Amino acid sequence: MTIAHEPNPVPALLVRAQGGDGQAMNELLTHITPYVARVCASVARYHSSDAMQEALLAIYRGLTTVREPAAFYGWVRSVTVREAVRTVKRLNDAATCSSVEARHEANPLEGVHINDVLERLSTPHREVLTLRAWGLNEEEMAETLHLPVGTVRSRLHRARRSFQEAWAPSAA
């Protein structure tokens, strides 16, 4: 059986939305909303709805800055993570960035253990580990968190060490 793949609607929608087509803008935002929601749920656990609204607004406002349709999802991810972190900081949430998607299909309980270990880490350490899990490099993390790159590197180093120390007892 042959599965027909529908073409990616993003490039055409992006061009139309940037040209002022309101219907295309609506379709584009509807198309990316599930992705934005997943990122916000990971970064702004308790305020993911607020973060998602802020991210979608920022995407709407900044859409004209996207020059390359192939870079659209990377841009959306960066904007969403930045807005989620801002929302958490604005709402002064102590439980920032506590959920990371586990990709260990062999043992589904490892995802629970990972989240348990992350809950025990400090907020700055959870932030950098979650942003790293979402694929941001140190420079992108520094920009998102409004910190010097050196600070991000040292936090990432300490966060990894803290995570490993907290993980070791549960690995036994």
Q: What mean pLDDT comes out for the span 126-132?
A: 85
Residue 125 lies in a domain: yes
Confidence of residue 169 (pLDDT cuts 50, 70, 90): low
* Proportion of the chain above pLDDT 70, given as a percent: 81
Q: Is residue 3 situated within a structural domain?
A: no
Task: Determine the pLDDT at residue 29.
Answer: 93
CATH of the domain at 25: 1.10.1740.10
Assigned domain for 1 exists: no
Do 85 and 12 lie in a common domain?
Answer: yes
CA distances from 112 to 57, 87, 115, 118, 164 (A): 32, 25, 5, 10, 15
17 and 91 co-located in one domain: yes
pLDDT at residue 128, as a whole number:
87
Same-domain status, 110 and 77: no
For residue range 43-54, what is the model confidence (pLDDT) as tens digits? Answer: 887 888 899 999
Within 10 Å of residue 126's Cβ, how many Cβ atoms?
25
Boundary residue ending a domain (38, 72, 96)? 96
Q: Based on the structure, what is the number of domains in the chain? A: 2
Query: What pTM was computed for the model?
Result: 0.58
**Does some domain include residue 117?**
yes
Residue type, 66: V
Domain encompassing residue 169:
97-172
Of 49, 74, 96, which residue sits at a domain end? Answer: 96
Both 28 and 103 in one domain: the answer is no
Highest mean pLDDT among 4-13, 116-125, 155-164 belongs to 155-164
pLDDT band at residue 98 under the 50/70/90 scheme? very low
Is residue 8 pLDDT above 80, yes or no? no
Which pLDDT band, with edges at 50, 70 and 90, does 30 fall under? very high
